[in-house]
């Protein structure tokens, strides 16, 4: 069903001017009225043709954000983690600039097939899929069931689809090279006990940087721990100290690094003099810990913009070929290394 602004006004029981204000992201309508309007927009898949001074551009008015909850990182409290909160906020802000709305759809892994069938029947606009914990089978299923999708924060080289993610390999390689530039030889690695593609790529990139310098990570300096906790409890720093510490450690994310700094402080291990530490993600807390954490910055806002750009092109461009985008990271030098 193709609807116009008059139809939206009638179905939402509001004035046409209210519809215009809401779709253009302007003030003058209450949040309740705005929500009623976008409920109709999402239901009927309204796609306005926006005109600029020079050309005509189609704009996405509604975007679904599909989240599949698992036993990994994407669990019940995933929104409390800085990376995911920043990603969702950036997507929502960008969509709202054109008067659109971001609808978060969360499903349990065991209900994924049913959720996809329901979305297929009522799919309006496009869908960005949070792919952090997805395996190959899940990603394939989503790609087969839904049209106009972009996966974000994951990458599968055997799936023909749109992907946007950080360059984990490049970022971890940066970390490895920086550690080497500081002259460290006994180098440790703190891995996540949750195995996802991002961490696998970080592992590859870091090992590659060390291999170029003919340095290996001794097995006794390879550790693993939860990637989403900050409390040092459960990190056996006493055993690490007893077995002998490396000179520097790369942590697969900032949560692990912050946890390690706190644990080291409890055991009077001076960072970075006795143990240098570098993380990955550049979350807000990394600049609050003492000493401040050296880390790898991830341009989350750019990832969100790129995902929406690819989604728009997929929906409105003819002969669009799926694009796999890796966004580069950068080193943030602070005091922990």
Overall domain count for the chain: 3
Whether 293 and 177 share a structural domain: yes
Whether 78 and 160 share a structural domain: yes
Whether 152 and 174 share a structural domain: no
Whether 15 and 127 share a structural domain: no
According to DSSP, the residues that pair with 107 across neighbouring strands are 68
Whether 175 and 264 share a structural domain: yes
Whether 246 and 229 share a structural domain: yes
Residue 57 belongs to some domain of the structure: no
| Verdict on whether the full-model pTM lies above 0.75 | yes
Residue 37 belongs to some domain of the structure: yes
Q: Any long-range contacts for 10-16 (C-beta under 8 Å, 24+ apart)? A: 11/40, 11/44, 12/36, 12/37, 12/39, 12/40
Q: What is the pLDDT of residue 53?
A: 47
Q: What is the pLDDT of residue 97?
A: 82
Whether 177 and 293 share a structural domain: yes
Domain of 285, in residue numbers: 168-297
Buried b (16+ CB within 10 A) or exposed e, 26-59: eeebeeebbebbbbbbbebebbbeeeeeeeeeeb
Query: Can you list the residues of the chain whose pLDDT is less than 50?
Result: 51-56
Q: What is the pLDDT of residue 49?
A: 54
Cα separation of 41 and 3, whole Å? 9
Whether 271 and 207 share a structural domain: yes
Residue 123 belongs to some domain of the structure: yes
Whether 174 and 160 share a structural domain: no
Q: What is the pLDDT of residue 55?
A: 44
Whether 155 and 182 share a structural domain: no
Q: Which two tokens stand for residue 219?
A: 């097995």
Q: What is the pLDDT of residue 102?
A: 87
Q: At residue 334, what are phi and psi to the nearest 5 degrees?
A: -130, -150
Report residue 30 CA to chain centroid gap: 31
Residue 52 belongs to some domain of the structure: no
- Write the burial class of residue 331 (CB in 10 Å: 0-12 exposed, 13-18 middle, 19+ buried): middle
Residue 129 belongs to some domain of the structure: yes
Whether 226 and 253 share a structural domain: yes
Q: Please choose, from the candidates 296, 305, 189, 193, the residue with its C-alpha nearest in 3D space to the C-alpha of residue 251.
A: 189
Residue 222 belongs to some domain of the structure: yes
Whether 180 and 293 share a structural domain: yes
CATH number of the domain that 110 lies in? 3.40.50.2300
Residue 56 belongs to some domain of the structure: no
Q: What is the pLDDT of residue 104?
A: 87
Residue 107 belongs to some domain of the structure: yes
């Amino acid at each position: 069903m193709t609807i116009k602004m008059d139809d939206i006004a009638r179905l939402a029981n509001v004035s046409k001017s209210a519809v215009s204000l809401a779709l253009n992201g302007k003030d003058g309508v209450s949040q309740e009225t705005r929500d009623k309007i976008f409920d109709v927009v999402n239901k009927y898949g309204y796609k306005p043709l926006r005109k600029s001074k020079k050309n005509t551009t189609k704009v996405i008015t509604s975007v679904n954000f599909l989240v599949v909850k698992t036993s990994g990182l994407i669990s019940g409290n995933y929104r409390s983690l800085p990376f995911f909160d920043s990603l969702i906020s950036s997507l929502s802000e960008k969509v709202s600039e054109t008067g659109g709305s971001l609808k978060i759809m969360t499903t349990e892994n065991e209900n994924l097939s049913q959720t996809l069938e329901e979305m297929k029947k009522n799919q309006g606009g496009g869908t960005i899929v949070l792919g952090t914990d997805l395996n190959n089978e899940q990603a394939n299923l989503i790609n087969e069931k839904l049209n106009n999708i972009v996966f974000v924060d994951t990458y599968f080289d055997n799936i023909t689809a749109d992907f946007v993610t950080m360059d984990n390999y490049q970022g971890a390689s940066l970390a490895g090279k920086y550690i080497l530039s500081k002259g460290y030889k006994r180098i440790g690695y703190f891995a996540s006990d949750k195995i996802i593609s991002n961490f696998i790529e970080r592992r590859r990139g870091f090992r590659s940087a060390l291999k170029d310098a003919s340095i290996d990570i001794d097995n006794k300096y390879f550790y693993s721990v939860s990637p989403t906790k900050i409390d040092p409890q459960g990190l056996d720093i006493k055993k690490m100290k007893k077995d002998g510490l490396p000179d520097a450690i790369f942590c697969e994310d900032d949560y692990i690094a912050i946890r390690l700094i706190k644990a080291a402080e409890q055991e009077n291990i001076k960072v970075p003099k006795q143990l240098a530490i570098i993380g990955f993600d550049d979350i807000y807390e990394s600049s609050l810990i003492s000493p401040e954490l050296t880390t790898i910055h991830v341009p989350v806002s750019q990832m969100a913009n790129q995902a929406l750009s690819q989604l728009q092109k997929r929906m409105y461009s003819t002969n669009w070929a799926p694009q796999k985008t890796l966004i580069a990271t950068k080193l943030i030098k602070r005091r922990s290394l």
